[in-house]
A and B are shown apart, each in its own frame.
Chain A
Amino acid sequence: MSLLTVNDIHTFIEQFHILEGVTLEVPQGDILALLGRNGAGKTTTLKTILGLTPARSGSVVYNGADITAKRSFDIAALGIGYVPEHRAIFADLSVEENLRIAERNSGDFAAKEEFIFGLFPDLKRLIRLPGTNLSGGQQQMLAVARALVPDNKLLLIDEPSEGLAPVIIEQMMDAITELSNESTVLLVEQNFIVASRLAQHYVIVEEGQTVQAGSMADLVDDQETIKRYLGAG
């Protein structure tokens, strides 16, 4: 059963036709990796799901309901968390405020505090600092933690390993594995090794179109596809 179904979406940014038919299905409880080269349309796909760059045609069905034409805040409130590329930490807010702002009901943060600090013990120590004073890895942790504050059934995570040191990447992978016990994840990842270790399924997009999809276990053995669509894996 799939939690999210994206069916042949076409998205324009200004006059540019960015997505020319992306189709994917995210099975409930699993991690699906959205793969492709730079500029293939991975980030735009996430933004279209969230309604930030609405689709001109096609449909996005989440949990049985068509959300294609809904506004972003309505979509997010249905239980979709977003961890954007470049993290988008609010610089003027402290670490704690960065987490609290994601609350949909007061008390969300208190309820999830233990779980979040269990995943990212570092954040607990930094709680009073302004968002700008964090290192790249800490910001990434905060961005993921922020998406965990409300009860999100689906997480859209964009490039969690980008620009991080290998040790931090390991930590981040452990965290994503653990949080995937609670939520379904749609992961965009350039680093194929990271993606292949985390995800059970994959979808490859190329020039705004879905070109291949299937089980990650099969893809790992298919060196030809990896080379063709993802560069040297």
Chain B
Amino acid sequence: MTTTQSKRSTVLADWMKENRSRLAVLAVILFVLLAAMAGLEAKEWFPTIMQGLSVGALTFLVASGLSLIFGLMDVLNLAHGELFMIGAYVGWTMYTRFDTAVDAAVPILLIAAPFALMPLWRRVADRLRRMDVNWHLAIWLVALVMAYVAWLVRFGTGGEEGTGAGAGPMVVVTGMFAAIGWALLRRSRRHDGGPAGDAAMMKATALSTLIVGAGASLVAVTKFPLVIWDAEDFARSPSNFSVQVDLGQLAPLPNDVFAWPAILAFAVLLLGGALIALGLSSLQPRGGETGELARRHWAGFGGMVVAAIVLALVKTPLNEWMFELSTTWRFLIAILVATGVGAALGAFIEVILIRPLYDRPIYQLMITLGVGFILIEMVREIWGRPEFTMARPAAFNGVGEGCPGQGLGGFFSGCSTVEVFGGRLRVYNEGFVVLVGVLVLVGVTLLLKRTRVGMVIRAGVQDPEMVEALGINVRRVFTLVFAIGSGLAALGGVLAAPSIGLSSGMGAVFLLGAIVALAVGGLTSFPGAAAGAVLVGLLQQIIIRLGQTGISLPFLDEPFKPSPTVVPAASILLMVVILLVLPTGLFGRSER
């Protein structure tokens, strides 16, 4: 007994010695927190702490994915904040304008379906690669004609609607085709028929295919009956819809009808998706894995097409049913869909954009940055520039008799606020969001520690080559982790929407917080990401709080009130101080 005890105490002593600076930093942080809280009553500091945890939970949802992706693949995903933003907007749409989400899902599914058949497109691309340059010229010509047809279908011949319409895109497209054609012609003259497998030739064909695919998809989408808002018109704007949901009085917008026969619209979208997929796989360098076209690929393709058709057929009853659901249920559905969309988008980004660049890390960094900007512009284009809010679901929005709830039980009273220790907390922000943050922390920790996938991820963080040499497809694990991380960011976004509202800049704010959290916690450590996120959240809220109450400093007559604009600066300062003392962060391990 005594020996085990003494053994235990030496283990503890060793641990403390090893982690001396870490403990010192934690003690200092604790001391600063206590000092900041000194003189405040429980009803003042408790809500501040909880608000800090709430911001920390949202930051953690971004930081966790960032940390997993960085740890496993050494990719700093600068688009991660925008995935957070996408989660918020997709969640808002599911929640507030379910009809639009259903309408949009049909063309998206149809365009995405051909991507399930990637091995087929790779094989076609290989066939193209072996073809003569004259074939490529023929493809170029067909593509050019198709692009003009698409333009005519979309904008007509001018006439009543004004001749200028659509001239801009056509000039750009014509220019691109001219450039591609010129490259092809030069090639054919130089090589007189040209050798098979010429990279430049292939690129030209891939680009023509991409342009036509994108054009066909865009044209067909405009022929879909898409119920959508109008950010310019208040009566039909996102912010007005949010208010209506809050008042419980939202009806679906009137539905337009297909401008084309539905079959034609469906077919053109499938064709567009197929051409985009073919173009993208032709752009990828040769020697990528071809893979067998298995039954599961066809199942994925068929599943998406069938889902699109079923959605198109049942959308009216589905919409009516959804609009009668309580906002709480709709919110839960929105959470699931937003997380799923985030995960799917993440997987898509990894496979199409990141994967070809694993041996060029700088390009990866730049491409994630670019994807981020594209996503922001996309969101502005679709949802409009102005910020708007998202109504809180009914379960967190109760007022009137018996509200605010009292004590811990008050969290389940259905009130929007609750009184704990005399301080007011918002049930949604300080209760639900923190709870989800904790659940995700526990869930991902269990995934990492208790499952085979988690074991492979932990091993892959250290040595992906060895994992591959054991017979494990590391690339597939990469994609999975990218999807999980993106899904968590999107989850953070949809959770944040009811408390902080929606804006196209929301992602950047949380990305900054998450990067600071990562640096503070140790870049690749998952618990470190959680600790760092909580620290960042606490620090921000305490500074905001101190901005209201002021800090009495010696030699100053009036209390010093930090303005909210110093909040981001304070996070960076925290990072700088911690990294000076602990270069690898709180939980980081030094590089081998």
Residues of A within 8 A of B (CB): 50, 52, 71-73, 76-77, 82, 84, 88, 90-93, 97, 100-102, 104, 146, 150
Contacts and interface: CB of A to CB of B under 8 A. Distances in A.
B455 interface: yes
A101 B467 contact: yes
B473 A73 contact: yes
A150 B469 CA distance: 12
B255 to A, nearest CB: 49
B474 interface: yes
A92 B468 contact: no
Nearest to B459: A90
B481 to A, nearest CB: 15
B119 to A, nearest CB: 14
B192 interface: no
Nearest to A100: B455
Interface string B452-475: 100110110111011111111110
B461 A92 contact: yes
Contact of B462 (A77, A82, A91, A97): A91
A76 B466 CA distance: 11
Contacts of B160: none
Contact of B471 (A73, A84, A91, A93): A73
Nearest to B472: A73
A50 B459 contact: no
Contacts of A73: 468-474
22 contacts: A50-B469, A52-B465, A71-B289, A71-B468, A72-B468, A72-B469, A73-B474, A76-B470, A77-B471, A82-B469, A82-B470, A88-B463, A88-B465, A90-B462, A92-B462, A93-B455, A93-B458, A93-B459, A100-B455, A101-B452, A101-B456, A101-B470
Contacts of A84: 466, 469
Contacts of B471: 73, 76-77, 102, 104, 150
A24 B466 CA distance: 24
Interface residues of B, number: 19
Interface string B35-66: 00000000000000000000000000000000
User: Across chains A and B, which 3 residue pairs bring their CB atoms closest together, nearest first?
Assistant: A76-B471, A77-B471, A88-B466
Interface of B: 289, 452, 455-456, 458-459, 461-463, 465-474
A100 B472 CA distance: 12
Contact of A101 (B455, B461, B465): B455
Contacts of B472: 73, 101
B454 to A, nearest CB: 10
Contacts of A150: 471
A92 B470 contact: no
A102 B458 contact: no
Contacts of B462: 90-92
Contacts, number: 58
A92 B463 CA distance: 11
Contacts of B467: 101
Nearest to A91: B462
A46 B468 CA distance: 14
A33 B94 CA distance: 64
Contacts of B461: 92
A153 to B, nearest CB: 13
B469 A76 contact: yes
Nearest to B448: A92
A85 to B, nearest CB: 11
Contacts of A93: 455, 458-459
Contacts of A72: 465, 468-469
Given A73-B474, A97-B455, A90 B463 contact: yes
Given A71-B289, A73-B473, A73-B474, A101 B459 contact: yes
Contacts of B469: 50, 52, 72-73, 76, 82, 84
A102 B472 CA distance: 9
A104 B467 CA distance: 12
A101 B459 CA distance: 9
A44 B93 CA distance: 54
A50 B465 CA distance: 11
Contacts of B452: 100-101
A74 to B, nearest CB: 8
Given A73-B468, A92-B462, A93-B458, 16 more contacts: A50-B469, A71-B468, A72-B465, A72-B468, A73-B471, A73-B473, A76-B470, A76-B471, A77-B471, A82-B466, A84-B469, A88-B465, A90-B459, A100-B452, A101-B467, A104-B471
A76 B468 contact: yes
Contacts of A90: 458-459, 462-463, 466
B50 to A, nearest CB: 33
Nearest to A150: B471
A93 B470 CA distance: 15
B359 to A, nearest CB: 10
Contacts of B455: 93, 97, 100-101
A3 B550 CA distance: 78
Contacts of B474: 73
B592 to A, nearest CB: 9
A90 B592 CA distance: 12
A96 B543 CA distance: 47
A230 to B, nearest CB: 27
A77 B469 CA distance: 9
Contacts of B468: 52, 71-73, 76
Given A52-B465, A52-B468, A76-B468, A92 B459 contact: yes
A73 B461 CA distance: 17
B164 to A, nearest CB: 53
A40 to B, nearest CB: 21
A50 B472 CA distance: 13
A71 B455 CA distance: 22
A91 B524 CA distance: 14
Nearest to B463: A88
B523 to A, nearest CB: 15
